[in-house]
Structure 1
Amino acid sequence: MTTTAPPTPRRPRALLTAALPAPGAPRLLALSWLIKTVGSGLYLTTSTLFFTRVVGLPVHQVATALTTAGIAALAGAVPLGKLADRYGPRRTYTALLAIQFATMAALAFARTFPVFAGLILVFLLAEQGSTAARGALVATAGEGAERVRLRAYLRVVTNIGITIGAAASALVIQADSKTGYMVLLWCTALTYPAAAVPLRRLRAPKPEPELAAEKSPRRGSGWQVLRDRRYAVITLICGVLSLQAQVLSFAVPLWVLEHTEAPRVLVSAMVTVNTVMVICLQIRFSRGAEDNARAAAMCRAAGLALLASCALASFTAGLSGWQAVTLLLLFAAALTLGELWLSAGSFGLSFNLAPDHMHGQYQGFFSLGRGTATALAPALIATLCLGDHPRVGWLVLGTLFAAAGVAAPWALRVRGAPGRTPGAHA
């Protein structure tokens, strides 16, 4: 009688290695991004408090400067991405990190509105460019499934890093002292040069103009992304779907507190559900996104999941007790499922549909979708979901999500840049 030996349990070290990005460029990029997102967690939770309590600016001036600078910074996405194509993504990304360090450090000494507004504009321009350069850097670290998997890892790292940063700032917020806010701002500034340190060990790829000459007999326009209709449509679709990020951060706290009778602590519970699901599931949900058709199907699934979440939210108005808690937790889970599918699908399409020698400008252009959504979301969500007819507004928002998701597979049939085949893999 033949017996089958039980499988040998994997050692803890092997499990840890399997849970990390591959050695080399992927792991170095993940470490760099972890450091930077810890700084983001520090900044997001305390920046408004610093600007109002230390700098001494009124809240409306802070909001005006952030909104205006955020919209103006969108104009730098494609030009700065093009610099990454010309001079290399690592060099460009490192330079932009240095600019962010300098402007963040200078904010510690800002005491007037014009100085504050000017520094914030430079900071957000560099942030917009670093998004494009980082996308191009990810593209050089692998191909196909490797790119999508690394991008999924970076999204998990984002949630971990921001959580660490937010937790670290809790004591400073509790103390509510000017010295504490000043120290935290300097710590945030130092994360930018610290994030550049792991990048020094990356092997510099071949200059992009040489790579383009080798890979493409026809190099095309230096601004080819502006003529790529298919990529523009995909960017628009993913931009509309990315409104979901503002639903959690902007709409949920106000909705729970003002339109339901659920306990206030439920807001934190919903954010926790979102964070845990993204950390545990993002990599799994991203499998297969290197295929264009599957990536587009993921965007479609995202739109339908977001429709379901909005429908659940519309039923929670005025509810109390366990009914409100149950529906709101289901709403958070459905919203996060949409986020997971959207992230996976957008990772794949943004890389697959871009020429290998133009990832900087293409990633810069793709970031315009999310950037525009971030700028417009508060006004749109406030009008639809927090206005006079919130139940109808939630359903209208959900329908918008569903329409955008369903359009994603169709968008692959739109003619792309000259000389490229619709639906082809990059």
Structure 2
Amino acid sequence: MTTSAPGRVHALFSTCLPAPGQNRLLAVSWLVKTVGSGLYLTTSTLFFTRVVGLPVHQVATGLTAAGIVALVGSVPLGRLADQFGPRRTYAALLGIQFATMAALALARTFAAFVALTMIFLVAEQGSTAARGALIATVGEGAERVRLRAYLRVVTNVGITIGAAASALVIQADTEVGYTTLLWCTALTYPGAAVPLWWLPARKTRPAGSAARSGSGWQVLRDRRYAAVTLICGVLSLQAQVLSFAVPLWVLQHTEAPPILVSGIVAVNTVMVICMQMRFSRGAEDNGRAARMCRNAGISLFAACALMACTAGTGGWSATVVLLLFAAALTLGELWLSAGTFGLSFALAPDGMHGQYLGFFSLGRGAANAVAPSLIAVLCLGTHPQEGWIALGVVFAAAGAMTPLVIRHASVRPGIDSQLRP
């Protein structure tokens, strides 16, 4: 007996969903939150410049300063998740984000903008660590990696929904529209907290394990984890290549049609949604996860080399090469995401995922802070083609280091006993 087409689609969709229960509740929570992220990312700069009336350079300066300050909250707030339980900590941080986002809708001065953005980003850094610790409580090994990969897919779906929903507001370009959208963004945070109610309020480690594991700041002495954090932070510069460099490069350095910027983003989004789960298989194995990071570096080098070839090229040839660039960049992103999912969890001792994942988020946070200036100098300056190649070499070198770090750590005597409680 043959299955109908709707039945086959439903079966395929069901196999892609996380298991009912905790995993699915986390996915629903994350979908609501990332819809808010899509609303905010597409309209926040317009709100601060057109409604609040801040110059673009002040908005950029304020966001950079707030982003750097927010990094200091990652490890301390991650420790709170270990101590008081990730669900409780994550829900509290979502509440703080709701309050600050709602206040931002009323902010009309530069000082208020910076102060509220700083609080919001500190809470965002902490929620990243707490959410990671929460994922660590729902399973081990492949199950954790699968859930984290699924949440990566949900991120792209949620942001796409949010960005699409904001299109009419951007088209109308009114103060009421932008302010209302910011309020709607604020409401997604308590909305994301609702599914957490049905998750168990348990800590990430059993009582009394803190005494056995030594200092609560153990992550600061773990050189292997620090090395992996640095490598993955360097590789995560690829995110800013897509969001910061691509629009400026396409419009200023090529003869490709401007709409291709949206086409590149569409290629990236569709590939991540369709392929992230497959690329993440086996990432629970440290050696395989390290090789994924190496593959990411190679693919990102290829993407940078392709981008260098588009300088000053004609419309059709530039379009074809830029689409190949989008595919290579996204393959690098897929391998990087999978590798970091595996390594960030597997190398963290049981019961310390909050502080370890909080520390791991420093790599991406620092990359986001320095990427605009670095990319502007290397790839958008006086020698852009050489700059793209140089950036590609940095990606390839960072990726090649990952298996070496993991292999060196695995042969050191007593390494596991030193790093794990």
The Cα of 1:425 is off from its aligned counterpart by 9.9
Correspondence for 1:175: 172
- Do the aligned residues in 1 keep the contact of 2:38 with 2:161 (CA within 8 Å)? yes
Correspondence for 1:135: 132
- Determine if the alignment matches structure 1 residue 34 to structure 2 residue 31: yes
Correspondence for 2:58: 61
User: Which of 48, 51, 60 is 1:51 aligned to?
Assistant: 48
Correspondence for 1:255: 249
TM-score (norm 1): 0.94
CA distance in 2 between partners of 1:308 and 1:180 (Å): 42
- Do the aligned residues in 2 keep the contact of 1:292 with 1:423 (CA within 8 Å)? no
Cα distance per residue 1:7-60 (max 9 Å; x no partner):
998644332221211111110000000000000000001111111222222222
Unmatched runs of 5 consecutive residues or more in structure 2? none
Correspondence for 2:15: 18
User: Which of 406, 417, 420 is 1:412 aligned to?
Assistant: 406
- Do the aligned residues in 2 keep the contact of 1:292 with 1:425 (CA within 8 Å)? no
Residue aligned with 2:139, SS: coil
- Do the aligned residues in 2 keep the contact of 1:40 with 1:165 (CA within 8 Å)? yes
Q: 1:422 to 1:305 in 2, by over 3 A?
A: farther
Which residues of 2 match residues 217-366 of structure 1 at below 5 A? 218-366=212-360
The Cα of 1:421 is off from its aligned counterpart by 2.4
Amino acid at match of 2:143: E
CA distance in 2 between partners of 1:14 and 1:277 (Å): 21
Residue aligned with 1:80, SS: helix
Q: 1:418 to 1:89 in 2, by over 3 A?
A: farther
The Cα of 1:206 is off from its aligned counterpart by 4.4
User: Which of 374, 377, 386 is 2:368 aligned to?
Assistant: 374
CA distance in 1 between partners of 2:398 and 2:116 (Å): 36
The Cα of 1:415 is off from its aligned counterpart by 4.5
The Cα of 1:195 is off from its aligned counterpart by 0.2
Q: 1:84 to 1:113 in 2, by over 3 A?
A: same
Query: Which stretch of structure 1 is more off in the superposition, 260-269 or 277-286?
Result: 260-269
Amino acid at match of 2:289: A
Unmatched runs of 5 consecutive residues or more in structure 1? none
Q: 1:100 to 1:419 in 2, by over 3 A?
A: farther
- Do the aligned residues in 1 keep the contact of 2:205 with 2:350 (CA within 8 Å)? no
- Do the aligned residues in 1 keep the contact of 2:35 with 2:159 (CA within 8 Å)? yes
CA distance in 1 between partners of 2:420 and 2:291 (Å): 16
Q: 1:342 to 1:424 in 2, by over 3 A?
A: farther
Q: 1:56 to 1:94 in 2, by over 3 A?
A: same
User: Which of 60, 79, 82 is 1:82 aligned to?
Assistant: 79
- Do the aligned residues in 2 keep the contact of 1:129 with 1:364 (CA within 8 Å)? yes
User: Which of 382, 390, 393 is 1:396 aligned to?
Assistant: 390
Amino acid at match of 1:65: G
Amino acid at match of 1:42: L
Query: Which stretch of structure 1 is more off in the superposition, 394-403 or 12-21?
Result: 12-21
- Do the aligned residues in 2 keep the contact of 1:28 with 1:199 (CA within 8 Å)? yes
- Do the aligned residues in 1 keep the contact of 2:349 with 2:419 (CA within 8 Å)? no
CA distance in 2 between partners of 1:250 and 1:27 (Å): 33
- Do the aligned residues in 2 keep the contact of 1:50 with 1:181 (CA within 8 Å)? yes
- The CA RMSD over aligned residues, in Å, is 2.1
- Do the aligned residues in 2 keep the contact of 1:96 with 1:126 (CA within 8 Å)? yes
User: Which of 190, 193, 200 is 1:193 aligned to?
Assistant: 190
Which residues of 2 match residues 80-119 of structure 1 at below 5 A? 80-119=77-116
TM-score (norm 2): 0.95
Correspondence for 2:416: 421
Correspondence for 1:204: 201
- Do the aligned residues in 2 keep the contact of 1:352 with 1:425 (CA within 8 Å)? no
- Do the aligned residues in 2 keep the contact of 1:412 with 1:423 (CA within 8 Å)? no
Query: Which stretch of structure 1 is more off in the superposition, 105-114 or 92-101?
Result: 105-114
- Do the aligned residues in 2 keep the contact of 1:239 with 1:373 (CA within 8 Å)? yes
- Do the aligned residues in 1 keep the contact of 2:32 with 2:188 (CA within 8 Å)? yes
- Determine if the alignment matches structure 1 residue 384 to structure 2 residue 378: yes
CA distance in 1 between partners of 2:418 and 2:147 (Å): 22
Q: How many residues are matched? A: 419
- Do the aligned residues in 2 keep the contact of 1:229 with 1:414 (CA within 8 Å)? no
CA distance in 1 between partners of 2:142 and 2:302 (Å): 29
CA distance in 1 between partners of 2:14 and 2:413 (Å): 43
Cα distance per residue 1:94-151 (max 9 Å; x no partner):
0000000000111122112112211111011000100100110111111000000000
Q: 1:423 to 1:241 in 2, by over 3 A?
A: farther
